[in-house]
Structure 1
Amino acid sequence: VKTSQILINNLPLAEYFPTVTDREKVTRPLKLAGVLGAYNVFALVRGGGTSGQAGALAHGIAKALIPHVPDTAKILSKAGLTKRDPRMVERKKTGLAKARKAYAWVKR
């Protein structure tokens, strides 16, 4: 019986992600490929919130599994794990309070 480790920023998975949904999101590509418990995962993640970090880890794990586990590319891509989330923060524009919020308009 093999026991695998999942360490994120040198912390165990359950310690780094206290919520069950985030832990399930991270382990989803391993479960879909049928290799949960067969591989050790050591990951470093920075920036964003916990949900975004979990999604980024799932994407990274899925991309890393494709060359090592044959016939998983189709399964993982169908689950939407191989495509990067393209959404980015919109930049703040000059003359505005935020990216789109304008200061209160004063007539006089």
Structure 2
Amino acid sequence: MQVINTIGRRKTAVARIYMQPGKGDVTVNGRDLQTYFPTEVLQIILNQPFNLVEADGKYDLKVNVHGGGIAGQAEAIRMAISRALVEADAEHRPALKKEGFLTRDSRMVERKKYGRAKARKRFQFSKR
């Protein structure tokens, strides 16, 4: 039984996954998927690659994820799962590529500049 190890990133979140054939168990940071991602939207994001290639319940996942918020973490995991599915079966690549699951979303938070309230917002101007 071969374990596929891949990595996915989004914003500052980094997800490392270990995927092996199984019955669909997903463990995120030692916790169940439903307890780590309580909202259904995040669970759907995580399962998108499996639904796309019709591999629901065929693989067990052990996920280590850190950094960022839960939305960024979910999208990082989605990318890692997509990469693992391509590694498992190269025929999945065109479908996953078309949906954009294999492309790293490089958008990051712009840094705050000095003399400004935020990255672009100015401090309040007072004429008098």
TM norm structure 2: 0.76
Larger RCO, structure (CA 8 Å, separation 6 or more): 2
**Does residue 1:71 correspond to 2:72, yes or no?**
no
CA distance in 2, matches of 1:24, 1:105: 45
CA distance in 2, matches of 1:66, 1:97: 44
Q: How does 1:13-92 map to 2 (within 5 A)?
A: 13-92=33-112
Report the alpha carbon displacement of residue 52 of structure 1 after superposing the two structures with TM. 1.8
Q: How does 1:85-104 map to 2 (within 5 A)?
A: 85-104=105-124
- Give the aligned residue type for 1:42: K
CA deviation profile, 1:38-90 (whole Å, cap 9, x unmatched)? 21111111222222211111111101111112300001011111111111010
Contact 1:33 1:69 in 2 (8 A): no
Higher relative strand content: 2
Which piece of structure 1 moves more, 90-99 or 29-38? 29-38
Secondary structure of residue in 2 paired with 1:85: coil
- Give the aligned residue type for 1:46: H
Secondary structure of residue in 1 paired with 2:66: coil
TM norm structure 1: 0.88
CA distance in 2, matches of 1:95, 1:20: 41
- Give the aligned residue type for 1:39: Y
RMSD: 1.5
Report the alpha carbon displacement of residue 105 of structure 1 after superposing the two structures with TM. 2.5
- Segments of 5+ residues of structure 2 without an aligned counterpart are 1-21
Aligned-residue identity in percent:
38
Aligned residues: 107
